[in-house]
Structure 1
């Protein structure tokens, strides 16, 4: 009897201790850093997302990201030093520098210098497995700063003459977005958006079996032109369901002086002067390509869920800049209007509030600094953009920027957005535009000539010149300022 009692005591201790150990965390357990995924589209305006106000376009996956996470509704790109705005935008996000310093560091990238200071290298040094696929358009080689790369694609799919100056009228039917003979997104046999999706899914499946956290840079060319997608997506958008933008006009009056005239590639896509029909067709194809992209995002997110990775993964979705597609008589993105500078930005992940919308002005490139903080990496001093985490958790309601700066080329355009107003300057002709964004969010009415606007123009102009100094912008606007004072 005595021996049986001792035996029972031993059994109770063994199973009791085992149960306690199962329910308690070992003191030396290593918590895995979160995975981070950057989903990056090209030429996608904030107006090209259903949940952000455009009820014409179908974007259920992007809408779900907004539902499941936090959306920054006023996210901007600074602009660019040439017509390829995406080149500057991507240089900024990879380097962490503002536009003119990003241009300078891009020259160093081409010499294989400054690479250790790039976003993926910082993530790698913190223990991340890094991966990139899709559009690159940065002077550094992708495989020189990422551990792994999929397809490395150029700034845009190859185009053809048939894709320009169209459609002339209802009888102009040569071009069809699903015609593979025109190449572009169809070059190689599989649509580029699907190819990038397949790359991303393959890497996620592989990474799910490994211990290291991963950082993915998934960069789609869509919805950049040529606006090609399978026929079923175009059929989702009958032309009679496409509205003409409120800002539509046959010609933008300052196109030539602002550097976005008839010789600019983007502007040649549609006929001059703009017609309502040509704008409808371009918007139809833009929406179709966007919805096709949305389906690729869905497959990537479904793969994360299938692999059980969502609970420890942050997803960032944004675009490098927006696009006019018929607004203000323009087709491209080489302008300072919100439809071309403002982009979607959704963030989903652990402890990110669901369905939250934040209206403070931020830059798209703040994504980099935010991921560094989430990864436990101290932000280097050379990174000029700022983490958004304090705004997400509600401890910062003002944001990091008193004003948003905009630029196009060395001498073509400058902009400041501050306190509900936007001042646009075309230095070559000394033309000044002013918009009251609270009363006129679509920027339909220039109030620069109104007498009561004079003091506001002077105030914003001084603040713009101060921003120029901060940004390393060497264009001298002082003569124009003297003429208005």
Structure 2
């Protein structure tokens, strides 16, 4: 009898354990403060604590240690060479890439609300400083704004004029002869045509103080003002860095030696399909470095890129310190991400106008009350999930009208699988992508070309499996899934016109 009773008890315990959720729901604070820290052009692989031992990011490392890091955050792509424009339109309207323009128009007409307006509706005092680059005015959507930057710092690149010159080259002319200062460089170690520390070049020093430092001062001023208020706040702090021109003070340049920096493992002098996918010399980002790419030029650009990131990191550290000193840290969530990634020599590419992970994946971290420190989540998300997450924290029901999803259930361990069956990507009508079940399929419609990568086994996307006979069924299935995703995100490009599988 005792044995039977013991078995019954054990079975009851096992049965009860199976019925319990993996982690009980934690009670999160109501109406916490929310700070959204946003970088520009920062690749997921440019944080020291996440594996890049050459870049110096002590404050971003603290975010990794003190919160939850999502290692597979994606941007959907863009209808424009200015990928940041599309990314920010999605972020501030909650609409997927091919519906975001309509979303912006709806906000402008007052038919829909922006992210900031949705936060205001929940009783939040809203603040914005830095890069905006959305086609409705920030000043009309946030309670407070300061030093709003439209896009990248001014330079002397005239895209339309450059494209015209490239298309009408005469015999004996070289497109490189038309490159403005700051592009097609460095040609050699003796090339000193442009310096990242020369304030006479303007750029981030336009106005007299580096824009990352201006944002720091703006943010700290608002935090000091808000620390005496009972009203919750939402801060949208958008750095222009590390977007080119990658300028930072000399002390940050001195932290790096280009000779000792590693060239990306997937570096190549020329990407074979560069012109066909819109990544030739007429693309502004691509024209920053010489064609064909050289390892020396790549190292120089990496040095300037890392220096810009480290300089931005230092300003983030001072903002985080101000939050701690304000007494608000225990009731504040910080979400950190960037509008997309960036290629700096990877695959022979410069810029973010491609479907490789280095260009589509930014970092994404969230820290705050109730979140586990040092946790990493590999479930795939979109960076625009930051919007839905903030609305979730704020208690908004309007999040239900947003395409994107809160990451809180994933961060809290209440959910394991991604909210998305697959990740979509698109650039103009020139590129399409789907990432599903550890594989990525890239399509170049204009030249009827496919690329397939096993991301789990080949994270640097160096071995194209598209011609492997054993992958035919996978390609067919992924192609079909991509067409389903197209309808979900408003993509009207008829891929059947290009591929018959």
TM-score, length basis structure 1: 0.91
Q: Is the 8 A contact 1:115 1:121 kept in 2?
A: no
**Which of the residues 375, 397, 400 maps onto 1:378?**
397
Over aligned residue pairs, what C-alpha RMSD do you find? 1.1
Identify the residue that residue 443 of structure 1 maps to in structure 2: 461
Q: Determine the C-alpha separation between the residues in 2 that align with 1:103 and 1:215.
A: 24
- Could you tell me which of 194, 202, 205 is aligned with 1:175? 194
Task: Quote the Cα distance in structure 2 between the aligned partners of 1:41 and 1:345.
Answer: 10
Task: Give how far 1:197 is off.
Answer: 0.7
1:31-69 C-alpha deviation (Å, 9 max, x unpaired):
862100000000000011112221111111001001000
Structure 1 match to 2:102: 104
1:21 maps to: none
1:191 aligns with 2:241: no
Deviations 1:353-393 (A, max 9, x none): 10000001100000111111111111344300001111111
Q: Residues of 2 paired with 1:481 and 1:186: CA distance?
A: 49
Is 1:142 the counterpart of 2:160 in the alignment? no
> In the comparison of the two structures, how many residue pairs are matched?
450
Counterparts of 1:91 and 1:280, CA distance in 2: 33
Within the candidate set 328, 336, 343, 1:309 is matched to: 328
Tell me the residue number matched to 2:4: none
Tell me which residue corresponds to 1:14: none
The correspondence for 1:422, drawn from 437, 440, 445, is: 440
Tell me the secondary structure at the aligned position of residue 497 of structure 2: helix
Gaps of 5+ in 2: 1-28, 157-179
Q: Say yes or no: does 1:166 pair with 2:185.
A: yes
1:125-136 correspondence runs (5 A): 125-136=121-132
CA drift at 1:481: 3.2
* Distance in 2, Cα, partners of 1:434 & 1:114: 43
Find the aligned partners of 1:151 and 1:219 in 2 and give their Cα distance.
11
Give the secondary structure class of the aligned counterpart of 2:336.
strand
Q: Provide the C-alpha distance between the structure 1 equivalents of 2:116 and 2:229, rounded to a whole number of angstroms.
A: 19
1:328-477 equivalences under 5 Å are: 328-409=347-428, 411-477=429-495
Q: Which runs of 4+ in 1 moved over 4 A?
A: none
Q: Contact conserved, 2:106 with 2:112, CA < 8 A, in 1? A: no
Further displaced range: 263-272 or 98-107: 98-107
Equivalent residue, structure 2, for 1:84 = 82
Contact 1:223/1:290, CA 8 A, preserved across alignment = yes
Distance 1:220 1:37 in 2: 13
Distance 1:32 1:249 in 2: 51
Partner deviation per Cα, 1:60-101 (whole Å, 9 max, x = no partner)? 100100100000010000011010000011011110110111
Relative to 1, partners in 2 of residues 1:303 and 1:436: Cα closer, same or farther, differing over 3 Å? same
Q: Distance in 2 between matches of 1:130 and 1:116?
A: 18
2:268 — aligned with what? 249
Q: Is 1:228 paired with 2:224?
A: no
Matches of 1:374 and 1:125 in 2, distance apart? 13
Indicate the residue corresponding to 1:27 in structure 2: none
Are 1:282 and 2:301 matched, yes or no?
yes
Name the structure 1 match of 2:26. Answer: none
Match of 1:7 in 2: none
Q: Distance in 1 between matches of 2:399 and 2:265?
A: 44
User: Are 1:64 and 2:82 an aligned pair?
Assistant: no
Deviations 1:2-33 (A, max 9, x none): xxxxxxxxxxxxxxxxxxxxxxxxxxxxx862
What's the CA shift for 1:106? 2.3
Gaps of 5+ in 1: 1-30
Following TM superposition, by how much is the alpha carbon of 1:233 offset from its aligned partner in structure 2, in angstroms? 0.5
The residue aligned with 2:116 is 120
